Amino acid sequence: MPSTPIAVDQVDVPTSRLRTHVLTAGPAGAPALVLVHGNVSSARFFAPTMSVLAGRYRCLAPDLRGFGLSEVAPVDARRGVRDFADDLHALLTESALATKREWRGTGRGVGGGGQRRVSLLGWSLGGGVVLQYAIDHPDMVASIVLESPMSPYGFGGTRDLAGAPCWPDFAGSGGGTASPEMVRRIAAGDRGSDDPASPRNVMTNLYGKPPFQLPAGLEDELVEAMLQMTIGDGNYPGDAVASPNWPGTAPGDQGVNNAISPRFCDLSGFAAIAGRPDVLWVRGDSDQIVSDASAVDLGYLGQIGAVPGWPGADVYPPQPMVGQMRAVLDRYRDAGGRYEERVLAGCGHSPHLEQPDEFNELVGGFLAS
């Protein structure tokens, strides 16, 4: 890896689906690594990682629709995360960022339409997006890094390793589960730290294991990236409908949080894809977001008394998010694929920011192998 970080550039790329803002780093002829960010963030969260990995790879990190500086376009939640995956496919197949002409000599084979196979790194929501991309385009994927990925059965409202819903209407997932105060403060452009629901406090107390401290300038930039996210029914968090089932809200048909509701999101089909790219799964042992005891899962919050009226573990247990991912990856391995799980001690939801040296070494070694 380079001793001096490589510069990260930015470009707007028009496709048939939307205009995508993309961070780029590294030589055009190097093997390609596409980094996909999580919810309530943007590609800017990956810039420090890209500046290091670009010593060996052509790094591309798009802002998803409605996030960062990409075009604002609504998310059709009825398609799960396919709006995001289809946007990524258009970016990689239609633009000069992802052609044989730019990536000649990668040695990784060619996918459909003259596209070189790419390695994908997905963080949190981005983990779900890259799994969907691999399901839909397995011949175009060289390898996959899952960083603190969301469950293959979405977020909230499921009870077991097979993703069975707690209620038929998937109550407890979707747009109505977001913190209203955090949504309000994002919409108001709150850059302060006077309330636990401010974007700054959410990032520093939830994205990493507290105390999660970043250099002051980087922290400010990442708060700005959170504030660039589009708020509304079609984007974040999405619409919601009232439910007679605890906790009283069920997913609507629009927006990000509904797209990752198990009502619409089921990525378990990854276990049976062709091609079988190798998978590296990296997570922290103190992740408060994607966990079998998640601090933002209503099943867990009900269990600890933070949300009243919880109907009990027989009806609505905490979602076993980590167990669900491991069950799907175990089936992938049983079908002939390979995966490795690496758990970082003392680390939360953002290994690439909390333990960057170890994370970059893991990812670089995996891709090189």
What is the Cα–Cα distance from 206 to 286, expressed in whole angstroms? 10
pLDDT at 115: 58
User: How far does Cα 243 stand from its chain's mean position?
Assistant: 27
CATH of the domain at 246: 3.40.50.1820
Residue 73 domain flag: yes
Q: Does the pLDDT at position 99 exceed 60?
A: no
pLDDT at 100: 46
Strands (E), 4-128: 9-14, 19-25, 32-36, 58-62, 118-123
User: How far does Cα 124 stand from its chain's mean position?
Assistant: 3
How does residue 113 score in pLDDT terms, banded at 50, 70 and 90? very low
How does residue 29 score in pLDDT terms, banded at 50, 70 and 90? confident
Measured on CA atoms in the order 281, 287, 293, 294, is the torsion positive or negative? negative
Inter-CA distances, 70 with 12, 73, 91, 145, 230, Å: 8, 9, 12, 23, 10
Residue 340 domain flag: yes
Task: Decide which of 28 and 227 is more confident.
Answer: 227
- The radius of gyration of the chain from alpha carbons, rounded to an integer in Å, stands at 19
- State what percent of residues in the chain have pLDDT above 70: 94
Domain containing 103: what range? 9-174+229-368
The DSSP 8-state label assigned to residue 155 in this structure reads S
Record the pTM.
0.95
How does residue 103 score in pLDDT terms, banded at 50, 70 and 90? very low
Residue 4 domain flag: no
Q: Does the pLDDT at position 110 exceed 90?
A: no
Q: Does the pLDDT at position 112 exceed 50?
A: no
pLDDT at 116: 72
- Surface-to-core class of residue 249, CB atoms within 10 Å of its CB (0-12 exposed, 13-18 middle, 19+ buried): buried
Residue 323 domain flag: yes
Residue 150 domain flag: yes
Mean pLDDT, the chain, whole residue set: 94
Neighbours of 100 (CB within 10 A): 13
pLDDT at 1: 41
248 with 146: CB under 8 angstroms?
Answer: no
At 171, list the tokens. Answer: 């109550």
What is the Cα–Cα distance from 230 to 78, expressed in whole angstroms? 19
Q: Could you give the number of structural domains in the chain? A: 1
125 with 65: CB under 8 angstroms?
Answer: no
Residue 182 domain flag: no
140 with 106: CB under 8 angstroms?
Answer: no
The mean pLDDT of 183-195, rounded to a whole number, is 97
**For the chain, what is the largest distance between any 2 Cα atoms, rounded to a whole number of angstroms?**
60
Q: Residue ranges of the alpha helices (H) in the chain?
A: 47-53, 82-94, 125-136, 180-187, 199-202, 216-227, 256-259, 298-303, 321-334, 351-354, 356-368
As separate numbers, helices (DSSP H) first and strands (DSSP E) second, the chain gives: 11, 12
Question: Tens of pLDDT along 209-248?
Answer: 998 999 989 999 999 999 999 999 999 999 999 999 999 9
pLDDT at 97: 81
Residue 23 domain flag: yes
Measured on CA atoms in the order 138, 50, 149, 19, is the torsion positive or negative? negative
Tally the residues of the chain: 369
Residue 189 domain flag: no
* Angle value at C-alpha 297, between 170 and 37, nearest 5 degrees: 95
